[in-house]
Amino acid sequence: QVTVVQSGGGSVLPGGSMTLSCGTTGRAGIYGMGWFRQNSGTERQFVAATSWGGDTTNYAGSVKGRFTISRDNAKNTVSLQMNNLKPEDTGVYYCAARNGGGVRIGADDYEYWGQGTQVTVSS
pLDDT, tens only, 83-116 = 999 999 999 999 999 998 899 999 999 999 999 9
Question: What is the Cα–Cα distance from 40 to 29, expressed in whole angstroms?
Answer: 33
Residue 111, CA distances (Å) to 51, 63, 79 in order = 15, 24, 19
Question: What is the reported pLDDT for 11?
Answer: 98
Question: What is the reported pLDDT for 100?
Answer: 87
Q: Is 34 exposed, middle or buried (0-12, 13-18, 19+ CB in 10 A)?
A: buried
- pLDDT tens-digit map of 42-82: 999 999 999 999 899 999 999 999 999 999 999 999 999 99
Question: What is the reported pLDDT for 1?
Answer: 86
